[in-house]
Amino acid sequence: MKVKIGLETHVQLATKTKLFCSCSIENLSEAEPNTRVCDICLGFPGSKPVLNKKAVDIGIKIALALNCKIHREFFFSRKSYFYPDMAKNFQISQYEIPLASNGYLIVNGKKIRIKRVHLEEDPARIIHVGKSITEAKYTLLDYNRSGIPLVEIVTEPDIESPKEAREYLKTLMLILEYLGVFDPKEHLMKSDANISLEGGERVEIKNITGFREVENALNFEILRHKNLLKRGIKPERETRMWDPVTKTTKSLRKKEEEEEYGYIFEPDLVKIVLTEEQINAIKQSLPEMPQEKFEKYLSMGLNKEIAFTISSDLQLAIFFESLLDEFSPNQIDSWILVLKKILNYNDVLLSETKLKKEHFSLLVKKALSGEISDRAFELILREVVFYPEKLEMLLKEYQKISGEKLKEIVLKVIENNKKAVEDYKSGEEKALNYLVGQVMKEIKGKGDAKEIRKIILELLNG
Interacting residues with Zn ion between 349 and 368 (CB under 5 A): none
Which CB atom, from 38 or from 362, has the smaller least distance to Zn ion?
Answer: 38
Q: Which of 335, 431, 432, 424 is nearest to 385 (CA)?
A: 335
23 binds Zn ion (CB under 5 A): yes
Q: Which stretch binds Zn ion (CB under 5 A): 20-28, 207-215, 350-358, 417-425?
A: 20-28
Give the Cα separation of 84 and 124 in Å (integer).
8
How do strand 73-74 and strand 264-265 relate by DSSP bridges? unpaired
Cα–Cα distances (Å) from 30 to 144, 150, 187, in that order, read 11, 20, 14
174 binds Zn ion (CB under 5 A): no
Q: How many residues lie near Zn ion (CB under 5 A)?
A: 5
Interacting residues with Zn ion between 39 and 68 (CB under 5 A): 40-41
Biggest CA pair distance of the chain: 99
Which CB atom, from 41 or from 316, has the smaller least distance to Zn ion?
Answer: 41
CB 5 within 8 A of CB 157: yes
Q: Which stretch binds Zn ion (CB under 5 A): 18-26, 120-128, 377-385, 419-427?
A: 18-26
Interacting residues with Zn ion between 24 and 43 (CB under 5 A): 38, 40-41
401 binds Zn ion (CB under 5 A): no
What is the smallest separation between the CB atom of 25 and Zn ion, expressed in angstroms?
9
Q: Which long-range contacts (CB under 8 A, 24 or more apart) does 417-424 make?
A: 421/460, 424/460
Q: Strand runs (DSSP E) across 262-317, as ranges?
A: 264-265, 272-273
The phi and psi torsions of 245 (rounded to 5 degrees) equal -80, -50
Q: Which stretch binds Zn ion (CB under 5 A): 19-27, 44-52, 90-98, 104-112?
A: 19-27
Neighbours of 198 (CB within 10 A): 10
CA contacts within 13 A on the Cβ side of 76: 22
92 binds Zn ion (CB under 5 A): no
21 binds Zn ion (CB under 5 A): yes
Which CB atom, from 23 or from 367, has the smaller least distance to Zn ion?
Answer: 23
87 binds Zn ion (CB under 5 A): no
Q: Which stretch binds Zn ion (CB under 5 A): 21-29, 43-51, 181-189, 367-375?
A: 21-29
Which CB atom, from 21 or from 336, has the smaller least distance to Zn ion?
Answer: 21
Which CB atom, from 41 or from 175, has the smaller least distance to Zn ion?
Answer: 41
148 binds Zn ion (CB under 5 A): no
Q: Find how far residue 413's CA is from the centre of its chain.
A: 50
Which CB atom, from 63 or from 148, has the smaller least distance to Zn ion?
Answer: 148
Residues in CB range of 6: below 8 A, 6 or more apart: 115, 154, 155, 156, 157, 158, 159, 193, 194
Which CB atom, from 23 or from 208, has the smaller least distance to Zn ion?
Answer: 23
14 binds Zn ion (CB under 5 A): no
Binding footprint of Zn ion on the chain (CB under 5 A): 21, 23, 38, 40-41
